[in-house]
Chains A and B, each alone.
Chain A
């Protein structure tokens, strides 16, 4: 190594160090398109749910919260929620898997495991909590509950992946809290939080980090 090349070698070394530190501590393959896909699923789901509810209340003259048809509505809504969750997860996973493959980042390494757990703990706790509320026929706080727990999961995950995801988390939490303060229209808050915010965030992320590589 000649001494004239030293400064250039140093620059290259510093760049390498930076890259290794980034790559080994953060999961960078989270795709903006994943968020957009999840948002689209959520909006479609919210639209279908609204139709189910409108149909139910439109048809029956007496508005009952119990009885056979109400139980059927509840069951249908739960099935729909499960389908939306599955569709969102699968499509989100697909785009992230695709980006990981492009970047040569492994999905099974220590860092993606950390992302998974930091996301899974608040989400599973929140999911069970919401289920518990439904068990007690307490449906009013389901929407806000979903938003707040999901927001907390995102803020937590921000430590190990693209840090911007924390802002999405804060927005979801604020939305959930507003929903609890200003009561009704839960479905609209839900659609705003899981649909619109995801799409907006996904587009911003795609614009900020992925667009350059397309050109």
Chain B
């Protein structure tokens, strides 16, 4: 039997990273502040997880300005999209396993 865990990505073990990816899948682009508000996490915490997602090539960062304030937005990469849908398929298989 195929191991159902294949496809599950370690990166999405973390709830915040999972949340960031879920939000990015349905929004073309989203700002740091909106992400923070939606996931109800602190600046530092969110920043750390975004860095690790970026290092894995799952998200793209765009730095911009609104007036003088920095406005950093994030979007999902192709690799990220693929990894996330593989992860969801793996989750589905796991759930089918209980039935």
Q: Return the CB mask of B15-55 against A: 1 if under 8 Å, else 0.
A: 10011001101110011001001110000000000000000
B15 A16 Cβ-Cβ under 8 A: yes
Q: Which chain A positions have C-beta within 8 A of B88? A: 14, 17
Q: Are B95 and A109 in contact (CB under 8 A)?
A: no
A20 touches B38 (CB 8 A): yes
With A16-B19, A106-B37, A110-B34 already in contact, the answer to whether A21 and B25 are too (CB < 8 A) is yes
Stretch from A3-11, A30-38, A70-78, A192-200 at the B interface: A3-11
Most buried by B among A13, A16, A23: A13
| A10 B94 Cβ-Cβ under 8 A | yes
A24 close to B (CB within 8 Å) = yes
Q: A1 to chain B: closest CB distance in Å?
A: 8
CB distance from A158 to the nearest CB of B (A): 16
Work out how many contacts link A and B, with CB atoms closer than 8 A: 55
- Residue A25 lies at the interface, judged by CB distance under 8 Å to chain B: yes
Determine the residue in chain B with the shortest Cβ distance to A26: B26
Cα separation A14 to B21 with both chains bound (whole Å):
12
Complex partner residue of B22 from A3, A11, A21, A109, CB under 8 angstroms: A21
Smallest Cβ-Cβ distance to A1: which chain B residue: B13
Q: How far apart are the CA atoms of A10 and B94 in the complex, in Å?
A: 7
Given contacts A7-B97, A110-B30, contact A21 B91 (CB under 8 A): no
Of B13, B37, B97, which one neighbours A109 at CB under 8 angstroms?
B37
Contact A109 B25 (CB under 8 A): no
> Which parts of A1-59 form the interface with B (CB within 8 Å)?
1, 3, 6-8, 10-11, 13-14, 16-18, 20-21, 23-25
B interface: dominant SS: helix
* B31 with A110: CB separation less than 8 A: yes
CA distance A3 to B38 in the complex (A): 30
Q: Are B38 and A23 in contact (CB under 8 A)?
A: yes
Bound form: Cα–Cα A24–B91 in Å: 21
Are B5 and A24 touching (Cβ within 8 A)? no
Q: Are A7 and B27 in contact (CB under 8 A)?
A: no
Interface residues of A in 103-140 (CB under 8 A from B): 106, 109-110
Contacting residues, chain B, for A21 (C-beta < 8 A)? 22-23, 25-26
- Most chain A CB inside 10 Å of its own CB: which residue of B4, B22, B27, B97: B22
Q: Once bound together, how far apart are the Cα atoms of A193 and B91, in whole Å?
A: 47
Docked-complex contact B37 and A24, CB < 8 angstroms: no
- Are B26 and A25 within 8 A (Cβ)? yes
Q: Which residues of chain A come closer than 8 Å to B39, judged between CB atoms?
A: 20
Give the chain B neighbours of A14 by CB distance below 8 A: 88, 91-92, 95
Given A109-B38, A110-B31, the answer on whether A24 and B94 have CB atoms closer than 8 Å is no
B1 within 8 Å of A by Cβ? no
List 6 tightest A-B contacts by C-beta distance, closest first: A20-B22, A10-B94, A24-B23, A25-B26, A10-B91, A7-B98
